[in-house]
Structure 1
Amino acid sequence: MAAGEPGASGGYCFRFLPQRTFASLSAPETTGRLRQWSMLGRIKAQAFGFDQTFRAYRKEEFVLAFFKDPNVIANLELLSDSSGQWMTLGTEVKNVEATGVPCTQLSMSFFNRLYDENIVRDTGHIIKCLDSFCDPFPISDELRKVLLDEDSEKYEVFSKPDRDEFLFCLFKHLCLGGSLCQYEDVLGPYLETAKLLYKDLVRILLACATLQQGVTNRRFRILLWILSSVMLTFCTIALVWGRCLDVLLFYLYLLCFIIFVF
Structure 2
Amino acid sequence: MAAGEPGCPGGFYFRFLPQRTFSSLSSREVTGRLRQWSMLGRIQAQAFSFDQTFQPYQKDDFVMAFFRDPNVIPNLQLLSDSPGQWTTLGTEVKKIEAVNVPCTQLSMSFFQRLYDENIVRESGHIVKCFDSFCEPFLISDELRKVLLMEDSEKYEVFSPQEREEFLFCVFKHLCLGGSLCQYEDMLKPYLETAKLIYKDLVRTLLVCATLQLKSMSRHSLTLSWIPSSVM
Taking structure 2 as the reference length, the TM-score comes to 0.92
- Bigger radius of gyration: 1
Deviation at 1:38, TM superposition (A): 0.4
Q: Counterpart of 1:190?
A: 190
Q: How does 1:1-262 map to 2 (within 5 A)?
A: 1=1, 6=4, 8-10=7-9, 11-205=11-205, 209=206, 222-225=208-211, 228-237=221-230, 241=231
Distance 1:5 1:234, change over 3 A: closer
Q: Tell me the distance in 2 between the aligned counterparts of 1:33 and 1:77.
A: 22
Q: Check the 8 A contact 1:105/1:165 in 2, yes or no.
A: yes
Q: Partner amino acid for 1:123?
A: S
In 2, distance between residues paired with 1:131 and 1:116? 23
Contact 1:46-1:224 at 8 Å conserved across structures: no
Shift of 1:19: 1.1
% identity of equivalent residues: 71
Q: Matches of 1:42 and 1:28 in 2, distance apart?
A: 16
CA distance in 2, matches of 1:101, 1:198: 13
Query: Cα RMSD over matched residues?
Result: 1.5
Residue in structure 2 matched with residue 252 of structure 1 by the alignment:
none
Shift of 1:116: 0.5
Quote the offset at 1:66 in angstroms: 0.7
Higher strand share: 2
| CA shift for structure 1 position 155 | 0.3
Deviations 1:173-206 (A, max 9, x none): 000000000000010000000001111001121x
Unaligned runs of 5+ in 1: 210-220, 242-262
Give TM-score scaled by structure 1 length: 0.81
Once the two structures are superposed, what CA deviation does each residue of 1:155-175 show, in whole Å capped at 9, x if it has no partner? Answer: 000001110000000000000
CA contact (8 A) 2:63 2:227 kept: no
- Tell me if the contact between 1:18 and 1:47 (Cα under 8 Å) persists in the aligned partners: yes
1:230 CA displacement = 3.5
Kept in 2, the 8 Å contact 1:22–1:45? The answer is: yes
Question: Which structure's residues are more often helix, by fraction?
Answer: 1
In 2, the alpha carbon distance for the partners of 1:20 and 1:190 equals 25
Shift of 1:70: 1.1
